[in-house]
């Protein structure tokens, strides 16, 4: 069944690497891969790949080399801070600290907050935002029933928080439901109580513009692999005072301005932010990829948002026609969301469904609890869920094939036999060959 929603033009969209990838099925056929797992890792933009290829001949050590290639690499690395700052609408005074990913960035921030800081967050956060905060001054608020409830709960929690430094940690968009959180409203509450606010933009930044100044947040984190730059880089952008006062996140070369020998001890003068928290040889390739992705997305928001809204409407309308499917939601079916949909399927094993969608239909989705166990457990009433997430590489054919395949699996079952291997379902007698570079 094809769901009638407005057709869109994708001609002006940034293109992704692998858009023509064909994958083998257990039946012996090959089909175009339908990647509906963008929420985990987005494919590489063609412009990012080209920029990386252009940089590689010039690749050299950053900040420490007199050679011309080192000067080029250093220039590329430092210019990337400008691209990221522009992409997020950050303040000129904000520090831009490059990390490995969102998890790394949030752990860095957690290590940098002043001692005895009261930290308040909702327990439905992704584990990257939920787990770094420990100790008696951390308060986790339960799943709110609505955006208004979230604002009221935060206001109450801040009124009850200990005197001293305070930090609120919020997500921009749920990686489980795709729902957009009321970040600006939560920031206003934080300001009223003298608290700072940190935004986990990992799921929001690939889908919508993020404006740090308009939202009035103090810290923002995101990952390159979520915004079509899968080369191992992330970033923490925000106010520099706490970061400057903290001990380096990692210690080593680059984090120091001077080391002296005092016999039984070393004298160490730490570098200023951002180098203070970027010890070791920087990932200049990953940082350049991240910066290029920011530049490309920043020029393409109108087309990107239109593309995803049309496909999301098509996806959700199609899922509503599949027997037993129950879409997960924090704030309700009509709440604004990005291209992420999670659901249960009438008690059917979602791991089995994910395996069959891949093996028999060439569709990649995610099953489980998506590193947000508390949220999924509550919303799915103790079950695991299936998640389909769209992005720049998604087409109408991908969405329609997914809906049709899911309906067939739910109503008629799979055509192939499967078995559990190390806790995961896998097709029996799977003769699909790996690509040549893995043989």
Residue (of 391, 287, 410, 280) closest to 343 by Cα position: 410
Q: Are 179 and 173 in contact (CB under 8 A)?
A: yes
Q: Are 178 and 333 in contact (CB under 8 A)?
A: no
Residue (of 357, 340, 339) closest to 348 by Cα position: 357
Query: Phi and psi at residue 142, in whole multiples of 5°?
Result: -75, 165
Q: Are 101 and 223 in contact (CB under 8 A)?
A: yes
d(CA 342, CA 388): 6
- Token digits of residue 266: 């070393």
d(CA 143, CA 145): 7
5-36 burial code (b ≥16 CB/10 A, e <16): beebebeebbebbebebebbbbeeeebebbbb
The one catalytic residue in 21, 371, 404, 410 is 371
Helix (H, G, I), strand (E, B) or coil at 139: strand
| Residue 337 β-bridge partners | 179
DSSP 6: -
Residue (of 193, 115, 207, 104) closest to 154 by Cα position: 193
d(CA 382, CA 395): 32
d(CA 58, CA 231): 17
Please give the C-alpha separations between residue 276 and each of 107, 248, 345, 408, in angstroms, as whole numbers. 15, 6, 49, 55
Cα(first)–Cα(last) distance of the chain, in Å? 39
Strand 266-270 relative to strand 256-261, pairing: antiparallel
Residue 228, number of CB atoms within 10 A of its CB: 30
**Cβ neighbours of residue 310 under 8 Å, at least 6 residues apart?**
5, 6, 7, 8
Query: Phi and psi at residue 102, in whole multiples of 5°?
Result: -60, -45
| Secondary structure E strands in 274-384 | 325-327, 340-345, 363-364, 366-368
* Annotation says 371 is catalytic: yes
| Residue 368 β-bridge partners | 385
Q: Are 201 and 222 in contact (CB under 8 A)?
A: yes
Residues catalogued as catalytic: 371
């Amino acid at each position: 069944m094809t769901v009638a929603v407005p057709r869109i033009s994708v001609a002006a969209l940034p293109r992704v690497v692998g858009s023509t990838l064909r994958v083998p099925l257990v039946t012996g056929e090959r089909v175009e891969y339908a990647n509906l797992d963008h929420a985990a890792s987005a494919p590489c933009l063609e412009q990012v790949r080209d920029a990386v290829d252009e940089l590689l001949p010039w690749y050299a050590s950053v900040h420490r080399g007199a050679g011309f290639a080192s000067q080029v690499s250093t220039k590329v690395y430092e210019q990337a801070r400008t691209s990221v700052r522009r992409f997020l609408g950050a303040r000129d005074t904000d520090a831009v600290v490059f990390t490995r990913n969102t998890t790394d960035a949030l752990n860095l921030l957690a290590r940098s907050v002043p001692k005895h800081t009261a930290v308040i967050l909702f327990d439905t956060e992704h584990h990257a935002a939920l787990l770094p905060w420990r100790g008696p001054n951390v308060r986790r608020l339960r799943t709110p029933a609505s955006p208004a409830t979230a604002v009221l709960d935060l206001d109450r929690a801040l009124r009850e928080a200990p005197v001293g430094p305070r930090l609120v940690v919020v997500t921009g968009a749920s990686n489980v439901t795709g729902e957009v959180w009321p970040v600006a409203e939560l920031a206003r509450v934080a300001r009223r109580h003298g608290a700072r606010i940190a935004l986990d933009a990992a799921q929001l930044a690939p889908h919508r513009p993020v404006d740090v100044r308009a939202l009035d947040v103090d810290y923002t984190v995101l990952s390159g692999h979520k915004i079509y730059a899968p080369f191992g880089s992330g970033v923490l952008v925000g106010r520099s005072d706490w970061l400057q006062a903290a001990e380096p996140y990692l210690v080593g070369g680059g984090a120091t301005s001077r080391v002296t020998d005092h016999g039984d001890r070393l004298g160490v003068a730490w570098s200023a932010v951002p180098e203070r928290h970027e010890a070791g040889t920087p990932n200049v390739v990953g940082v350049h990829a991240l910066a290029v992705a920011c530049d490309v997305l920043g020029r393409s928001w109108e087309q990107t948002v239109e593309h995803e809204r049309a496909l999301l409407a098509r996806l959700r309308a199609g899922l509503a026609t599949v027997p037993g499917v129950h879409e997960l939601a924090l704030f309700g079916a009509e709440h604004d969301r990005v291209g992420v949909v999670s659901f249960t399927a009438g008690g059917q094993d979602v791991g089995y469904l994910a395996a069959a969608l891949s093996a028999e239909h060439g569709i990649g989705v995610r099953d489980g609890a998506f590193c947000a166990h508390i949220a999924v457990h509550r919303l799915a009433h103790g079950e695991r869920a299936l998640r389909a997430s769209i992005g720049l590489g998604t087409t109408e054919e991908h969405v329609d094939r997914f809906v049709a395949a899911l309906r067939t699996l739910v109503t008629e079952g799979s055509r192939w036999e499967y078995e559990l291997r190390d806790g995961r379902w896998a097709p029996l007698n799977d003769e699909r060959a790996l690509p040549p570079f893995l043989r």
